[in-house]
Structure 1
Amino acid sequence: MLWRAYFMATLPPTPFPLRLKTPKPRILDNFRGHFIMRNLVETAGLSLGLLGLTLTTPVYATDEQVPLAKRTEESGVALDSVQQAMELPHLALSLSVDPASESIAGIARYTVKATQPLKVVEFDLDPRFAINQIAVNGQPISGRNWRNDDGLLRITLPQQLAAGSSTIVSISYDGKPRVAPKAPWDGGFVWAKTKNGTPWIATAVQTNGCDLFWPCIDHPTKRVEWLDLAVSVPKPLVVASNGTLQEVTEKDGWSTYRWQAHWPQGYGVSLQIGPYELAQETYHSRFGNAYPIKFWYLPGDKKGAKMLIGQMRDFLDFFESTIGPYPFSDEKVGLAETPHLGMEHQTINAYGNGFKLSPEGYDWLMQHEFSHEWFANQLTDETIADMWLHEGYGTYMQPLYLRWKNGETAYRVALWDLRKKIVSKVPLAPKTPVSSAYYNDDKAGWGGDIYYKGAWILHTLREYIGDEAFFAGTTRLVYGRSDPKPGNFHWRVANTDDFEQVMEEASGQDLGWFVDAYFRQAALPELVSQRDGNILKLKWKSGSKEPFILPVEVQVGGRISTVEMAGGTGQIDLESPDAHVVIDPNTKLLRYDPAIAAWQKQQAAEKDTKAAEKN
């Protein structure tokens, strides 16, 4: 394809040497020449020796945590006018990762294109890193022309950059990156070891963002078009990362892995480093193309790796037949075994579930993380408030997969398990800005609702508008077109309003009342029922200003009837005052359930009692 040739030309050498505050010659030596671009090289047929080693629970490195700067702590902070005007056609990012000192050193060499005149450029970078030098177009600039006090790195250019023009900005930095307090939910580096003491390292930065280990614009709408990533590690460690592996070189006991990725999603750029072996095979898609499935696993886990690759074939068949083509077939389907549970890194999903099967016979974690190749990496939320588009859709793909695989009963059972976890204390997709720190706010419960409530809203919508409209709308949302094929679509940014629009177009119905009640209000709609002789009266109660008009199925004896709820009310003749009635017999409606509310209250009280007894 044409874009494959875009960066075939080589780049000039690094414009300045890497300078470290503390001499680290073995790191410095491996940085020489990392920014020389290589021609695209496919790595077909790569195979490593399969050794039998047994692993135990990973041993995590300990480090005194330095509090994050306020800006670094949050991901997806609203863009200011400077960052809005910056396009990033290319980034050559060179990193050296030293397990012995648990430190990294890097050079980020950006091509920055201005859409408006720029005198200043800005990047996000955790201020715990020491910045050694910044250069513009190969010329070092004075320290007076940049500052990074709070995690927003502001660089004053030697001369104003005109709209439509480009410049090269190089940033040299080093330090000890934040150790993840609770990977993958609270981000940073994970420094672990295998049973035999070999370093095992991973990054997971979703809630805090890419600026935890490289200079970036930490916002979902700002992607680098081309990333050339060179990572140096001590031999015999292996680096698994995004995109396609271009080459591996060795020098002075260190190996440098060069990866290239097209339009990587910010927090989806990741390092997985360990004594990996590689399992791989080629997948032949229903769309006529073929692409590799590659799994970097630890020695001793060959059997599990083969099992998971087999499941991946099944997952691909499901997703491609249900949603559309795998979005990154020109690169790979990638997985890497990690010392944390998992994360949806683009083309290199982190996997740490220990090859555990669910009772339904599949690895639920890998299926969920892989769903994010469609819902996070291909379709990216516009703001943190729209994060349910990632997690709600990703969660709903599991009941749908079980329906596809095992039938309707498996689908309903999986959904009911999710229903008990919905708390609905705050709006799921508020109109006001949401901080990424909200994800870990247990009191609000939003970090759970974006999964479980999001999935249940999608279930209710599908039942309401039907499969044809629901899946047509979903495909349009993900790809921006109704006829996606390999190579004819681009990654997309969307918000909750976009979701509403595509579903209205697909169904031919106004869904403003539906979206307002479920996404913009905190409490779930409540269905009030009252029997008056032979008549069953129904009324929806919702915090929304518009009437909630979702139809309600009612089973009377062996017959199911649909009660239309024009204006939010409806009724049905039961034909007998003694008739047995079941409302919503097939569990299609997401609504307030007093039984679940009472059970949740009981569970919370028991938890508080146990905590008090412990103290």
Structure 2
Amino acid sequence: MKNILCTTILLIASISLAIGQNWDWGGPIDPLQEKFEVKHYRLELELYPATQSIKGKSTVTFSTIEKLDILRLDLIDEYKVTSVQMNGAEVEFSHENDLLDIRVGNSTYDAVDIFYEGKTPIAPNPPWDGGFTWKKDNLGNDWMGFSSQGEGGKVFMPALDHPSSEALEGVDLLITVPKPYYVAGNGRLDQIQQEGEKLTYYWRTDYPINNYGINFTMGIFHEEKINFSSISGDQIPMHVWVLQENKAKAKDILEVLKVSTETQEKYFGAYPWPKDKIAIVETPYLGMEHQTINAYGNNYRFVKMGSVNYDNLLHHELGHEWFGNKVSVGDWADFWIQEGITSFGDWMFYWEHGGEEAYFKKAKSTLKQISHSKPVVSAVNSTEEEAYHPEIYTKGAYVMHSLRWVLGDDVFFPMLKAFSSDPRFTYENQVNTRDFIDFVQSYSRKDLEGFFQLYLYTTDIPEVKISKKGEKGYEVSLLGIDFQLPVEVETEKGIETVTLGKQPLLINSKSLPIVDPRGWLMLKK
């Protein structure tokens, strides 16, 4: 999500919340919504650029293990619900306080059709303060995108709007726009239908998908595409849709996307959605991870990394296809799993293409941004607003960097791939921090409870203490912890790895030793 220069970003976000509508989500799930789960969403919407509004029908297919009297969905009050039907018959409903309560009665049907319309909420500062963004491109064409990670699906569709809820059997998007506009959406394009001066684009995916991962973008685009050769052996369609004014840049950004995907696959495993596509679409806001159709608005600000071009925004949002879309949290308390591990994946681009020096420079620059002001893991049942702060990116990535050091590459990287492919934590199943800790300890056969408890659940960091010990050298210890860590120590003899804890260790050195010179760990020196 919401990438990269976290301190500045969060400052902007906090300002925007004061001036815009704040639809938060998460927290404890509504008791009425615990009684059912969503199987599938089908959205049939028409977009009206002139009035910045939408109109259409949403079909929600659900399952339940007990009889329902009320089917409670979320939908913001800005939309007017004109009708609710089950099996073609009208059913009673109420719509207030952003809740849509449907009186199911004695119905045995497992799907409901909701007809709704209205002006879309405008995003004050997308994607941090989300909603719809309607703009004109430089050629005078309408251009629409929307972002809703901080607000949830209720800003564009009726939904069971809780992070623990995903559409287990996917989503169908039938989006109608004026001719000649194009709509890029999730999954694969089944067909385009024309009726008079209107075009309907039918996108669909059968994979599980979270609410904010559902997305569609309208514009006049130029498309470039290739087939990507995945490490899985699949040939996956790879697309970029850019504004017509940026047509000359399309092949370049397609190559950037290809290199980033190859890099992500090397460290995270095979691309998660091989039956659909790998794609980005140019959006009128910075960016967001929308499953198989990532939003891109970084203005082609590539930097040279070794022999290739790197776009930090593109690479970060692409990384969420693994951590965020495939591996998802059901409680925003564990937000760092999505943002921290994805941010660590950004560092690995530096390692892969810029080398060790670039990687450690990135680590040290990130360390300067970490104030240890809040724990990485928030309280259970956190809302998105409560859990979202810069250190889920920065400190979350640094925890992964330190874990890499503690485990060693031969264990760490296979572990990371194993975690991101474990069916207990992927696709229709979700994950929390305890799952991650237990998995790492089981895989590595190491007791890392102290490490995780310190760095994820507190704002404390170990303090390095160095004391002169006669002519023999220096005693070095780590204060504030009751476990031990492998630490590099540099002396006139070079760098060696020792095990440090609260008990002093004698380091033979004529000069003051440098503890952790490359910056593997978060330490107070």
Give the superposition deviation at 1:481.
5.9
- In structure 2, the CA distance between the partners of 1:535 and 1:234, relative to structure 1 (3 Å rule), is same
Residue among 221, 227, 234 paired with 1:289: 234
Runs of 4+ in structure 1 off by over 6 angstroms are: none
Counterpart amino acid of residue 553 in structure 1: E
- In structure 2, the CA distance between the partners of 1:571 and 1:242, relative to structure 1 (3 Å rule), is same
Residue among 243, 246, 253 paired with 2:190: 246
Q: How many residues align?
A: 502
Counterpart amino acid of residue 39 in structure 2: P
- In structure 2, the CA distance between the partners of 1:570 and 1:433, relative to structure 1 (3 Å rule), is farther
Equivalent-residue separation in structure 1 for 2:260 and 2:138 (angstroms): 31
Q: In the alignment, which residue of structure 2 is the partner of 1:451?
A: 393
- CA offsets per residue over residues 545-581 of structure 1, 9 Å max, x none? x614223221111332333235x333123254xx242
Equivalent-residue separation in structure 1 for 2:105 and 2:209 (angstroms): 30
Alignment of 1:489-528 (within 5 A): 490-528=427-465
Give the superposition deviation at 1:75.
2.2
Equivalent-residue separation in structure 1 for 2:504 and 2:232 (angstroms): 46
Q: In the alignment, which residue of structure 1 is the partner of 2:384?
A: 436
Equivalent-residue separation in structure 2 for 1:184 and 1:530 (angstroms): 50
Equivalent-residue separation in structure 2 for 1:370 and 1:496 (angstroms): 22
Equivalent-residue separation in structure 1 for 2:477 and 2:381 (angstroms): 33
Equivalent-residue separation in structure 2 for 1:122 and 1:540 (angstroms): 53
Counterpart amino acid of residue 311 in structure 1: V
- In structure 2, the CA distance between the partners of 1:592 and 1:104, relative to structure 1 (3 Å rule), is farther
Q: Is the 8 A contact 2:25 2:383 kept in 1?
A: yes
Give the superposition deviation at 1:271.
1.7
SS in 1 for 2:475: strand
The question of 1:466 aligning with 2:408 is answered yes
Residue among 482, 500, 518 paired with 1:547: 482
Q: In the alignment, which residue of structure 2 is the partner of 1:230?
A: 174
SS in 2 for 1:380: coil
Q: In the alignment, which residue of structure 2 is the partner of 1:221?
A: 164
RMSD (CA atoms)? 2.1
Counterpart amino acid of residue 406 in structure 2: Y
Counterpart amino acid of residue 255 in structure 2: G
Counterpart amino acid of residue 84 in structure 2: I
Q: In the alignment, which residue of structure 1 is the partner of 2:329?
A: 381
Equivalent-residue separation in structure 2 for 1:481 and 1:246 (angstroms): 28
Counterpart amino acid of residue 201 in structure 1: M
- In structure 2, the CA distance between the partners of 1:326 and 1:371, relative to structure 1 (3 Å rule), is same
Counterpart amino acid of residue 74 in structure 2: D
Q: In the alignment, which residue of structure 1 is the partner of 2:301?
A: 356
Q: In the alignment, which residue of structure 2 is the partner of 1:592?
A: 524
SS in 2 for 1:81: coil
Equivalent-residue separation in structure 1 for 2:465 and 2:174 (angstroms): 61
Equivalent-residue separation in structure 1 for 2:303 and 2:52 (angstroms): 35
SS in 1 for 2:366: helix
Equivalent-residue separation in structure 2 for 1:384 and 1:541 (angstroms): 32
Equivalent-residue separation in structure 2 for 1:529 and 1:154 (angstroms): 64
Give the superposition deviation at 1:359.
4.4
Equivalent-residue separation in structure 1 for 2:124 and 2:106 (angstroms): 42
Q: In the alignment, which residue of structure 1 is the partner of 2:101?
A: 154
Q: Is the 8 A contact 1:250 1:256 kept in 2?
A: yes
Residue among 63, 76, 99 paired with 1:126: 76
Q: In the alignment, which residue of structure 2 is the partner of 1:40?
A: none
Equivalent-residue separation in structure 2 for 1:548 and 1:308 (angstroms): 47
- CA offsets per residue over residues 212-249 of structure 1, 9 Å max, x none? 11111122321111311111111111100100111111
Q: In the alignment, which residue of structure 2 is the partner of 1:424?
A: 372
- CA offsets per residue over residues 177-211 of structure 1, 9 Å max, x none? 21101001111000110122211100111111111
Counterpart amino acid of residue 186 in structure 2: N
Equivalent-residue separation in structure 2 for 1:294 and 1:200 (angstroms): 19
Equivalent-residue separation in structure 2 for 1:286 and 1:477 (angstroms): 17
SS in 2 for 1:423: coil
- CA offsets per residue over residues 249-302 of structure 1, 9 Å max, x none? 122311111110122221011121101121111112222110100111111322
Equivalent-residue separation in structure 1 for 2:271 and 2:180 (angstroms): 32
Equivalent-residue separation in structure 2 for 1:414 and 1:493 (angstroms): 30
Equivalent-residue separation in structure 2 for 1:503 and 1:154 (angstroms): 42
Give the superposition deviation at 1:160.
5.9
SS in 2 for 1:111: strand
SS in 2 for 1:296: strand
Q: In the alignment, which residue of structure 2 is the partner of 1:532?
A: 469
Residue among 19, 35, 49 paired with 1:99: 49
Equivalent-residue separation in structure 2 for 1:333 and 1:426 (angstroms): 35
Give the superposition deviation at 1:67.
6.1
Q: Is the 8 A contact 2:85 2:91 kept in 1?
A: yes
Equivalent-residue separation in structure 2 for 1:66 and 1:585 (angstroms): 45
Q: Is the 8 A contact 1:137 1:167 kept in 2?
A: no
Counterpart amino acid of residue 469 in structure 2: D
Equivalent-residue separation in structure 1 for 2:504 and 2:56 (angstroms): 65
SS in 2 for 1:587: coil
- CA offsets per residue over residues 337-379 of structure 1, 9 Å max, x none? 0111111100000001111112433111101110000010000
Q: Is the 8 A contact 1:378 1:492 kept in 2?
A: no
Q: Is the 8 A contact 1:240 1:272 kept in 2?
A: yes
- In structure 2, the CA distance between the partners of 1:357 and 1:532, relative to structure 1 (3 Å rule), is same
Alignment of 1:144-183 (within 5 A): 146-159=93-106, 161=108, 166-183=109-126
Moved more, 98-107 or 351-360: 351-360
Q: Is the 8 A contact 2:188 2:203 kept in 1?
A: yes
Residue among 265, 279, 287 paired with 1:342: 287
Q: Is the 8 A contact 1:480 1:492 kept in 2?
A: no
Q: In the alignment, which residue of structure 1 is the partner of 2:341?
A: 393
Equivalent-residue separation in structure 2 for 1:385 and 1:463 (angstroms): 25
Q: In the alignment, which residue of structure 2 is the partner of 1:313?
A: 258
Counterpart amino acid of residue 460 in structure 1: S
Structure 2: any 5+ residue segments left out of the alignment? 1-17
Give the superposition deviation at 1:88.
2.1
- CA offsets per residue over residues 302-335 of structure 1, 9 Å max, x none? 2322111112222222222222110001000011
SS in 2 for 1:365: helix
Q: Is the 8 A contact 2:122 2:133 kept in 1?
A: yes
Using CA pairs under 8 Å that are at least 6 residues apart, name the structure with larger relative contact order, 1 or 2.
Answer: 2
The question of 1:582 aligning with 2:514 is answered yes
Percentage of identical aligned residues: 30
Q: In the alignment, which residue of structure 2 is the partner of 1:193?
A: 136
Equivalent-residue separation in structure 2 for 1:420 and 1:495 (angstroms): 27
Structure 1: any 5+ residue segments left out of the alignment? 1-64, 440-445, 594-615
Equivalent-residue separation in structure 1 for 2:468 and 2:56 (angstroms): 71
SS in 1 for 2:303: coil
Equivalent-residue separation in structure 2 for 1:475 and 1:492 (angstroms): 17
Q: In the alignment, which residue of structure 2 is the partner of 1:565?
A: 500
- In structure 2, the CA distance between the partners of 1:494 and 1:363, relative to structure 1 (3 Å rule), is same
SS in 2 for 1:106: strand
* Structure number with bigger Rg: 1
- In structure 2, the CA distance between the partners of 1:116 and 1:531, relative to structure 1 (3 Å rule), is farther
Q: Is the 8 A contact 2:492 2:509 kept in 1?
A: no
Equivalent-residue separation in structure 1 for 2:160 and 2:468 (angstroms): 59
Q: In the alignment, which residue of structure 1 is the partner of 2:88?
A: 138
The structure that is strand-richer by fraction is 2
